[in-house]
Amino acid sequence: MTFIEQLKTRGFNPKNEILSGFTVALALVPEAVAFSIIANVNPLIGLYTAFIIGLITSLIGGRPGMISGATGAIAVVVVSLVARHGVEYLFTAVVLMGIIQIVIGLFKLGKFIRLVPHPVIFGFLNGLAVIIFTSQFSHFKTIPETGEASWLQGPPLWIMIGFAVLTMAIIHFLPKLTKAFPSSLAAILVVSAIVIYFNIDTRSVGDIASISGGFPEFHIPSVPINFETIQIVLPYSIIMALVGLIESLLTLSVIDEMTETRGSGNKEAIGQGVANLVNGFFGGMGGCAMIGQSIINVSSGGKFRLSGIVAAISLLIFILFGSSLIEQVPLAALAGLMFMVAIGTFEWASLRIFRKVPITDVIVMVLVAGVTIVFHNLAVAVLIGVVISALAFAWENAKRIRARKHVDENGYKHYEIYGPLFFGSTSVFNDKFDIQNDPEHVIIDFAESRVVDHSAIEALNKITERYAKAGKKVHLRHLSKDCLRLLDNAKAIVEVNYFEDPRYKVVSDRAKPTV
């Protein structure tokens, strides 16, 4: 069986891949231009960024079908750097950003995305859906030279709304008739044809900025190579690298779920790093995975690397040869497309589980969505959600530690511990013991428990010290291998007063434990 035949058995369809990639390229144009404006750089910088990052991640990234390019999350981070120090420092920061991401991938730190709970992902998607939806409103506003933008009035507004609704209707209903042609591309072509043929006066891509240009050129950033430069760009590079990877790995998880396949987070981190490293040397602004365009791609049938490659090359062709035609594409069509992406991105199922999941999950979901919407900072939103979820988990587990107590025929008090012993449960653990009234020998059995961290070791140290001061001895039993290793490693800072390892000494039912 040939390689192509193997791909076809996995659902590879060249026609769908090519058409899907072309659709994504059309949707990338206004997004890249808009993010360039946010970052206060030339629109071509955003377009070149989308081309370079999109091509490299499609070739070597960890998730076929995922689309990367210039993003708002990165643009928001770099705007102050450009304003204070200029665009050359931006290019330097992007190079360093790429190096950091490569290091993260090489050390296989991408696996930590597994620590992101499902409520956080729900909140992330819902907040992002709202951002995608509301960000399209700018297309329905005038762009005055001075002052704030205002809504269009009269016929121009109704024309924009009408074509946006027509686009959404085609995207929704065409798949019910046929799936031979991507509905998103069909909608853009139909609306564009109507506007151009009837010469309807409505806003188009060309009204945002010209996308005409040449090939991106190799360019070493013109900055002093010294410690001061590193001090300036390193904080931005670290934030950009982390924000980019968080958004990329979350997008990877979403596409994994949509396609029922699994990508590689570490490979994606390396791919993103190489893309940004190259991007910095070709005058790019840095970027990461784009969940909206990735959903467009997968929904249109692009599930392999070919679709991303086609999208990137098509974007370059638009810049080199097709700018005059692409600039005529009505913004209403692209806005309608992104409205449908937002509707598809929103996890509507999350609204039905409010009373079926723990209240902490609901709070995390709403909070992550709120932070995403208000601050447009996905990394901070996800970090807040993970921290709150972790604290809630720790609190619940802290309440579960308990001790079953009994005195054997030899007069030894047994404390059989259940539940993990860690920083959150040490206080409850200490309250379980009756030091004054306990007999001379006390056995603490960890067969159903684990010593998790330094706080747990310290708790063992304190409890053995308290028994020692009362003239009594403690026997620690059935500690697992990892707990034993933890105690051995902590000998330099903590000394547990008495320890008995059941692997080396078996105490009979009648014999007293050896002291």
E strand spans, 183-252: none
Looking at residue 18, what is its pLDDT? 93
Task: Place 506 in a pLDDT band, splitting at 50, 70 and 90.
Answer: very low
Looking at residue 512, what is its pLDDT? 43
pLDDT at 8 over 70: no
Q: How far apart are CA 164 and CA 23, in angstroms?
A: 16
The residue among 198, 121, 131 whose CA lies nearest residue 159 is 198
Q: Which residue has the tokens 């992902």?
A: 121
pLDDT tens digit sequence for 374-428: 887 777 888 899 899 989 888 888 888 999 999 998 899 999 999 999 999 999 9
Q: How far apart are CA 124 and CA 118, in angstroms?
A: 10
Looking at residue 356, what is its pLDDT? 84
Which position has the higher pLDDT, 479 or 346?
A: 346
Looking at residue 269, what is its pLDDT? 94
Per the CB < 8 A criterion, the answer to whether 9 and 29 are in contact is no
**Eight-state DSSP code of residue 141:** B
What percentage of residues in the chain have a pLDDT greater than 70?
91
The arrangement of strands across the sheet holding 413-418 comes to 402-407, 413-418, 441-448, 473-477
Looking at residue 144, what is its pLDDT? 61
Q: Which residue has the tokens 């934030």?
A: 239
3-state secondary structure at position 421: strand
Mean pLDDT calculated for residue range 179-194: 90
Looking at residue 38, what is its pLDDT? 76
Looking at residue 438, what is its pLDDT? 94
Looking at residue 125, what is its pLDDT? 84
Looking at residue 89, what is its pLDDT? 95
Task: Place 495 in a pLDDT band, splitting at 50, 70 and 90.
Answer: low
pLDDT at 136 over 90: no
Q: How far apart are CA 135 and CA 31, in angstroms?
A: 10
pLDDT at 145 over 80: no
pLDDT at 513 over 50: no
Mean pLDDT calculated for residue range 223-240: 92
E strand spans, 256-397: 288-289
pLDDT at 40 over 90: no
Which distant-in-sequence residues (6+ apart) come within 8 Å of 10 by Cβ?
Answer: none
Which amino acid, 401? I
Looking at residue 135, what is its pLDDT? 83
Q: Beta partners for 130?
A: none
Superfamily of segment(s) 402-489: STAS domain (3.30.750.24)
- Looking at mean pLDDT, say which of 125-139, 223-237, 498-512 comes out highest: 223-237
pLDDT at 486 over 60: yes
Per the CB < 8 A criterion, the answer to whether 205 and 189 are in contact is no
Task: Place 4 in a pLDDT band, splitting at 50, 70 and 90.
Answer: low
Phi-psi region of 13 (alpha: psi -120 to 50; beta: other; left: phi over 0): beta
Q: How far apart are CA 134 and CA 507, in angstroms?
A: 70
Looking at residue 426, what is its pLDDT? 92
Per the CB < 8 A criterion, the answer to whether 414 and 446 are in contact is no
Per the CB < 8 A criterion, the answer to whether 342 and 132 are in contact is yes
pLDDT at 480 over 80: no
pLDDT tens digit sequence for 63-97: 999 999 998 778 878 888 998 999 999 999 999 99
Looking at residue 5, what is its pLDDT? 57
pLDDT tens digit sequence for 240-291: 998 889 889 889 988 998 888 888 999 999 999 999 999 999 999 999 999 8
Q: How far apart are CA 326 and CA 407, in angstroms?
A: 84
Tokens of 480: 């697992």
Tokens of 24: 């994504």
What percentage of residues in the chain have a pLDDT greater than 90?
46
Tokens of 220: 């070493």
Q: How far apart are CA 13 and CA 304, in angstroms?
A: 9
Task: Place 492 in a pLDDT band, splitting at 50, 70 and 90.
Answer: low
Classify residue 153 as exposed, middle or buried by CB count within 10 Å of its CB (0-12, 13-18, 19+): exposed
- Characterize the bridge pairing of strands 413-418 and 402-407: antiparallel
pLDDT at 509 over 50: no
Looking at residue 49, what is its pLDDT? 95
Mean pLDDT calculated for residue range 300-328: 92
* Residue 391 to residues 158, 387, 401, 429, Cα–Cα distance (Å): 50, 6, 16, 18
Looking at residue 453, what is its pLDDT? 87
Looking at residue 143, what is its pLDDT? 64
Tokens of 335: 């806005």
Q: How far apart are CA 214 and CA 318, in angstroms?
A: 10
Show me where the domains of the chain are located. Answer: 3-140+151-362, 402-489
